[in-house]
Amino acid sequence: MEWLSEFGAIAAMQGFNGLSVFCVLLLMALGLAIIFGQMGVINMAHGEFLTVGAYTTYLVSVLTLKYLPELQPYYFFVAIVLSFVIAGALGWLAEWALISKLYHRPLDTLLATWGLSLVMQQAFRSIFGAREVSASMPDWLMGSFNPTDAIDIPRNGLFVMAVTLLLTAAIFFLLYRSRWGLQVRATVQNRVMSRAVGINTKKVDRMTFALGCGVAGVAGAAFTTIGSTGPTSGSLYIVDTFLVVVFGGAASLFGTIASAFSIAQTQSIAEFFISGSMAKVLTLSAVILILMLRPQGLFSIKVRK
């Protein structure tokens, strides 16, 4: 009887782990999916915008500890908002200076944003040093939550999950329920007609890019609870992120969600039964195989180019 309850507990925790990996993948892919889906631009510097969020969180934590130590438990909320603002502002700048000059040359934006990512990485190194840093976590984010004796649910996992849910909901609202979202969708479907009816497509593009980068910043802030903060931390996520977006199919947020879910579950279950390294190869190979059979991704909507 006892082994059964233990088995149940492990199964429950493993199930939660699958969901948690799903949320991490979705969170890192959301920003990229918005930019790629709506603008057809591949942002290779996506990982560095994540890092911007992580360093912002670190700075806020250091400043809070120094000047307002009594507010330490709550600094994270400020950090998330600031991460969004700063990463978004940098994204706005990047769009203005780089991307806006390169529409219609998607492969070139890919190279230009790669260059941007190199510059940003070295900038992090010059500003914060080559060593990794660690933001001090508030107590309520540390450790585990125990519904029963045998079950440990990671609190940082719950937190990342909550952030993911809120952010996804907010993005859905923005894209499908707001006037701005209507403009974005109109631009994606038919840029020329949108301009004809008076939508400032340039402004829409810029805001979309900034939003995508801002979302990356939030993801970076959330990831400080589960991962590292260093000049190259963002690049750890980048391959997975691209795979999620491509696998899901461009221009489809539902696709991104579905793809993050299936990749996360495959990875999580495989990891439980075989070694982590082989699980990774297995997952990546499965994704490639499916992409070869269905190159347009899981979901795709027809757009007029």
Least spacing, CB of residue 182 vs other proteins, in Å: 20
Identity of the residue, 214 or 230, whose beta carbon is nearer to other proteins in the bound complex:
230
Identity of the residue, 185 or 195, whose beta carbon is nearer to other proteins in the bound complex:
195
**141, 76 Cβ separation under 8 angstroms:** yes
Residues from 159 through 218 that contact other proteins (CB under 8 A): 190-192, 195
Cα-atom radius of gyration of the chain, to the nearest Å?
20
Identity of the residue, 257 or 264, whose beta carbon is nearer to other proteins in the bound complex:
264
Residue 291: count other Cβ atoms within 10 Å of its Cβ. Answer: 15
Instruction: Check residue 246 for interaction with other proteins (CB under 8 A).
Output: yes
Instruction: Check residue 272 for interaction with other proteins (CB under 8 A).
Output: yes
Residues 135 and 53: their CA atoms lie apart, in Å, by: 12
Identity of the residue, 22 or 84, whose beta carbon is nearer to other proteins in the bound complex:
22
Q: Which of 43, 183, 187, 268 binds other proteins (CB under 8 A)?
A: 268
Instruction: Check residue 55 for interaction with other proteins (CB under 8 A).
Output: no
Instruction: Check residue 5 for interaction with other proteins (CB under 8 A).
Output: no
Q: Which of 87, 168, 271, 298 binds other proteins (CB under 8 A)?
A: 271
**161, 151 Cβ separation under 8 angstroms:** no
Instruction: Check residue 303 for interaction with other proteins (CB under 8 A).
Output: no
Least spacing, CB of residue 12 vs other proteins, in Å: 10
How many positions of this chain bind other proteins (CB under 8 A)?
96
Q: Which of 39, 42, 260, 263 binds other proteins (CB under 8 A)?
A: 42
Instruction: Check residue 89 for interaction with other proteins (CB under 8 A).
Output: no
Distance of CA 259 to the CA centre of its chain: 13
Q: Which of 62, 81, 89, 102 binds other proteins (CB under 8 A)?
A: 102
Instruction: Check residue 233 for interaction with other proteins (CB under 8 A).
Output: yes
**51, 120 Cβ separation under 8 angstroms:** yes
Residue 144, helix vs strand vs coil:
strand
- Any idea of the CA torsion for 50, 54, 55, 58, to the nearest 10 degrees? 170
Residues 104 and 162: their CA atoms lie apart, in Å, by: 37
Q: Which of 55, 242, 261, 299 binds other proteins (CB under 8 A)?
A: 242
Q: What phi and psi values does residue 2 have, to the nearest 5 degrees?
A: -65, -40
Instruction: Check residue 301 for interaction with other proteins (CB under 8 A).
Output: no
Q: Which of 63, 68, 71, 278 binds other proteins (CB under 8 A)?
A: 278
Instruction: Check residue 10 for interaction with other proteins (CB under 8 A).
Output: yes
Helix ranges restricted to H, the chain: 2-39, 46-67, 75-97, 106-128, 155-177, 179-189, 191-196, 201-223, 238-248, 253-273, 276-293
Residues from 105 through 144 that contact other proteins (CB under 8 A): 105-112, 114-123, 125-126, 129-137, 142-144
In this chain, which stretch among 176-184, 213-221, 241-249, 255-263 interacts with other proteins, using CB under 8 A? 241-249
Nearest to 21 by CA among 197, 279, 303: 279
- The count of residues in the chain is 305
